[in-house]
Amino acid sequence: MSQFQIDDLLHLMSRLRDPNGGCPWDIKQTYDTIVPCTLEEAYEVADAIERKDFAHLQEELGDLLFQVIFYAQLGLEDGHFKFADVVDSLVTKLVRRHPHVFPDGDLYQLSNASPLNDEQIKGRWEAIKELERQAKGKAQAVTSILDDVPRTLPAIQRAEKLQKRAALVGFDWPEAVQVLDKIEEEIAELREAMLENDHAHIEDELGDVMFAMVNLARHVNVKPEMAIRSTNEKFERRFKYVEASLKEQGIALQDANLEQMELLWLVAKKLES
């Protein structure tokens, strides 16, 4: 049986922030200063999941939960909100966004409705979110459907969200092959910029290529962030094979030439296949 519950964690957080006897580090933190910690903890959760390290995942989820508790404590101290408000708004939103599960808006009433398929669920979800954005826009004078896409998101993730939002109003390529054509067009423009040796132009055109690649990933139902993370892992695995093989041959990595490394890279690639 677990010894501590959520109320204990809330109490612990209030003690850490207590000006009289609390932790000096925790006391001096602000919303802004703990954002980097929050991002780091989220990535550590993702890393544990990718490595299927579920024992470690439990610990990392606790660290991520602590970030939520920290923000809730700051909100309570500033009179903005408390943890119970965070939970209440979350449950309210999720019940509202799942009418196929809670048709009467009752969290504890079972639904007798016929089950929906994935496309129907996704369609309803997006329609409800659009109504929420419209309501938020009226309250906050939002002038664009892109206004509430967070600027602090990682660039690839933000590109994907911007494209999805524009697609809701029909600004999108109908077929994936058309995105491929766009990528080839952008690569041609990148080649021209490289021939000009104009760094600013190269950066601009390279960004266009990457943005188009994210668009292609979206059209073929691949998460671009997961795709590049997988490729990072593959590169690391193969390069470590090259390192180890050179070491077995008595060749220092810095003394190996590109041809030697390329041959070993191809061996690593063949072994994986």
Domain membership of residue 38 as a residue range: 1-81
For residue 134, is it within any domain? Answer: no
For residue 115, is it within any domain? Answer: no
Name the percent of the chain lying above pLDDT 90: 72
241 and 170 co-located in one domain: no
For residue 150, is it within any domain? Answer: no
77 and 7 co-located in one domain: yes
172 and 213 co-located in one domain: yes
161 and 235 co-located in one domain: no
Element (H, E) at 120: helix 118-140
SS3 readout for the chain:
CCCCCHHHHHHHHHHHCCCCCCCHHHHCCCHHHHHHHHHHHHHHHHHHHHCCCHHHHHHHHHHHHHHHHHHHHHHHHHCCCCHHHHHHHHHHHHHHHCCCCCCCCCCCCCCCCCCCCHHHHHHHHHHHHHHHHHHHHHHHCCCCCCCCCCCCCCHHHHHHHHHHHHHCCCCCCCCHHHHHHHHHHHHHHHHHHHHHCCHHHHHHHHHHHHHHHHHHHHHCCCCHHHHHHHHHHHHHHHHHHHHHHHHHCCCCHHHCCHHHHHHHHHHHHHHHC
218 and 230 co-located in one domain: no
The reported pLDDT for the residue numbered 107 is 83
Give the residue from 81, 115, 139 where a domain finishes: 81
214 and 239 co-located in one domain: no
**Tell me: the pLDDT tens digits for 183-207?**
999 999 999 999 999 999 999 999 9
State yes or no: pLDDT of 105 exceeds 90.
Answer: no
17 and 69 co-located in one domain: yes
175 and 214 co-located in one domain: yes
For residue 21, is it within any domain? Answer: yes
State yes or no: pLDDT of 108 exceeds 60.
Answer: yes
164 and 210 co-located in one domain: yes
Alpha-carbon distance of 215 to 173, in angstroms, equals: 9
**Tell me: the pLDDT tens digits for 31-81?**
999 999 999 999 999 989 988 999 999 999 999 999 999 999 999 999 999
State yes or no: pLDDT of 220 exceeds 90.
Answer: yes
Residue 159 sits in a domain whose CATH number is: 1.10.287.1080
For residue 190, is it within any domain? Answer: yes
For residue 138, is it within any domain? Answer: no
For residue 19, is it within any domain? Answer: yes
For residue 88, is it within any domain? Answer: no
Residue entry with tokens 């923000």: 71
Give the residue from 81, 109, 130 where a domain finishes: 81
The reported pLDDT for the residue numbered 140 is 62
Q: How many domains does the chain have?
A: 3
Residues 6+ apart with CB under 8 A from 109: 102
Alpha-carbon distance of 92 to 89, in angstroms, equals: 5
191 and 174 co-located in one domain: yes
218 and 231 co-located in one domain: no
Name the percent of the chain lying above pLDDT 70: 96
Alpha-carbon distance of 257 to 151, in angstroms, equals: 43
The reported pLDDT for the residue numbered 97 is 86
**Tell me: the pLDDT tens digits for 137-164?**
655 666 788 888 888 888 999 999 999 9
Higher pLDDT, 111 or 217: 217
35 and 55 co-located in one domain: yes
